[in-house]
Structure 1
Amino acid sequence: MRTSEAQPVVAAVDGSRTHPVTLDLAADEAARRGVPLHVLHVWPGQYTGRYRCRGPVPGETDGRRLLDAAIRRARQRAPWLTVTGELITGSPAGILAEHSETASLVVIGRRDEGPGRPGWGSTAAYLARHSRSPLLVQRGAGLRTGPVVLAVTGLDGPASAVRRAFEEADLAGTRLVAVRVWQPGDDQAGRQARRQLTELLAAWAGHYPRVRVEPLVVAEPELSYTLGRASRRGRLLIAASGQRGWFAELVRGVPGPGQSPVLLVPPVSFSVAAAGR
């Protein structure tokens, strides 16, 4: 496991057709934070799911070639960026979880379980619960424009996720849309949910005066549509990591093409502003 005064962005590459987009996203994030980029390929790293390729199994030489190509691409993307690489044998989920302990951010790509079955794949699903650093999941060629969207589940909301949402919106110079769900059938509960969300955001808004905040309270049946639309029109969807149950599955499995990345923030994490110090 690597250690460094400047916690790096760790990017996982697996040779899938979407991994170049994931790598570009990781390079952009490392450059924005002013920290090194560490490219990681776990060998044997071939996909072994139901819809895997039936061709020859890649060897270690193929893994090294993939890693070298990824490093070259990252350096071309951001020539001033410090880029390192590592080829490791083992379990991708376990190794990435270990690296998350000293990373400012872990970036991976989503791998659907199959046609018509959106999901994250086993590695991303594991890291969504166990990563010690924020986890950024690339879910398609979404536009990096529009607002930052924060999905709030609890009455208070994890402070690290709320803070990170304000930081991201401030850095991007865009507005922040905070979405909270409530159970329909009780109008008083709906008004209470809106008031609690407004108070939660007001507690942070003073630290980020440039960020325009839009609270949005939606009924549970409308949440899937709302998050799906936000994923297509926003630049980033943020939620707290470690969540279980229907809401976590909904955030991870919002269907549709052209989705924005999802950033899952653990209860305690590095801030964007402090990452490069």
Structure 2
Amino acid sequence: MELPLVVGVDGSDSSLLAVDWAVDEAARQGLPLRLVHASLWERYERVQPSFSTDRPAGRVMAQDIVASCVERTQLRHPEVKVSSDVLAADAVSTLLHAGSEAFALVTGARGRGEVAGLLLGSVSLTVAARAMCPVIVVRGEERKVRGSVGRVVVGVGDATGGTGAVRFAAREAEARGCALTAVRAWRNPVPEPGSAPAESGPGHPGLAAGAAGAPEEQVSATLDDALREVVREHPEVEVSRRAVEGPAHRVLLEASADADLIVVGALRRHGHFGLQLGRVAHALLHHSLCPVAVVPHRV
């Protein structure tokens, strides 16, 4: 049985945009959709007397939010199978638990009550930094959410950590019938006067131009290695490669301007329970011009 695509809903405009993205994704991938609303209303409202038929206001609001989101999905894609849950728990714990049995988690960039001007809501950031399944944070222009650009971009990091992200991106490109662009950033620092020449070698962060094996050639080889299997598994996807000199977070932020979705990997270290989110993913979640998918890799 296919795992569901889970989307967190709270009634905010950002959440409704996430619902639209999620139901489109469920239709593309042939997945069931599960809407989850988490609220701690039980902690803040007194228990109703046993003889009262009134429902707590918090429960009424939560159920109304979910019902309106279910209706929204059915109007947009009536063929998608939709289920919903209203849970009396905090949003982060609820979504992380739901993510243990999900194809992916989808959230908006900001929730209800977030501070005005906040770049990314705390729930979305924490879920993206801790979930063990892919997390998509829906942000950017509405046309990007609709998928009108026709391109998925994946950031290619080291060979091990980037495999899951590349596979996820290729599957997305195939489902959308669009192009896939793999981007790898590289740096060529200028050595200080009197210092030894920078070492060269595959994966070295400070490759020196003119050293044995030009850095562009080594980066190109890394891209070819990362894409070899997905090109074979998804022959119908148009794949392009881009090696760009510059800081990875800046290179990928620029790439997000011409993408419907940008995909990056994130390491999950066994036994570590804090936030596990690298600088590149963190920057994209706050500033990307299109939706961002963070794909975890456990080590």
Distance in 2 between the 1:151 and 1:114 partners? 30
Task: Name 2:297's counterpart in structure 1.
Answer: 267
Task: Name 1:20's counterpart in structure 2.
Answer: 16
The 1:189/1:244 distance shift into structure 2, 3 A limit, reads farther
| Contact 2:128/2:135 (8 A) holds in 1 | yes
Task: Name 1:249's counterpart in structure 2.
Answer: 282
Task: Name 2:64's counterpart in structure 1.
Answer: 65
- Aligned equivalent of 2:238, options 196, 209, 212: 212
The 1:114/1:219 distance shift into structure 2, 3 A limit, reads farther
Aligned residues: 247
2:266 is the alignment partner of 1:236: no
CA RMSD, 1 decimal: 2.3
Residue 157 of structure 1: how far off its partner (Å): 4.2
Residue 206 of structure 1: how far off its partner (Å): 1.8
Task: Name 1:44's counterpart in structure 2.
Answer: 40
- Tell me, which stretches of 5 or more residues in structure 1 are unaligned? 46-57, 269-277
| Contact 2:15/2:110 (8 A) holds in 1 | no
* Larger deviation, residues 189-198 vs 80-89: 189-198
Q: Structure 1 counterpart of 2:79, which letter?
A: W
| Contact 1:43/1:89 (8 A) holds in 2 | yes
The 1:179/1:107 distance shift into structure 2, 3 A limit, reads same
Distance in 2 between the 1:245 and 1:134 partners? 15
Greater CA radius of gyration, 1 or 2? Answer: 2
| 1:121-160 correspondence runs (5 A) | 121-140=121-140, 141-143=142-144, 144=147, 145-160=149-164
The 1:34/1:88 distance shift into structure 2, 3 A limit, reads same
Q: Structure 1 counterpart of 2:19, which letter?
A: L
The 1:222/1:239 distance shift into structure 2, 3 A limit, reads closer
| Contact 1:227/1:254 (8 A) holds in 2 | no
The 1:221/1:10 distance shift into structure 2, 3 A limit, reads closer
The 1:142/1:264 distance shift into structure 2, 3 A limit, reads farther
Deviations along 1:189-247, whole A, 9 cap, x unmatched? Answer: 343222212222134312222222221122234751x3233223211101113453322
TM-score, structure 1 as length reference:
0.80
Q: Structure 2 counterpart of 1:192, which letter?
A: Q
Task: Name 1:184's counterpart in structure 2.
Answer: 188
Distance in 2 between the 1:97 and 1:75 partners? 25
The 1:221/1:265 distance shift into structure 2, 3 A limit, reads closer
- Counting aligned pairs with the same residue, the percent is 29
> Where has structure 1 moved over 4 Å in runs of 4 or more?
112-117
Distance in 2 between the 1:7 and 1:204 partners? 22
Q: Could you say what secondary structure the match of 2:136 adopts?
A: strand
- Tell me, which stretches of 5 or more residues in structure 2 are unaligned? 42-56, 190-207, 268-275
Q: Structure 2 counterpart of 1:103, which letter?
A: A
Deviations along 1:61-98, whole A, 9 cap, x unmatched? Answer: 11111111111111111112221111111111111000
Distance in 1 between the 2:248 and 2:158 partners? 18
TM-score, structure 2 as length reference:
0.75
Residue 142 of structure 1: how far off its partner (Å): 4.0
| Contact 2:28/2:175 (8 A) holds in 1 | no
The 1:115/1:194 distance shift into structure 2, 3 A limit, reads farther
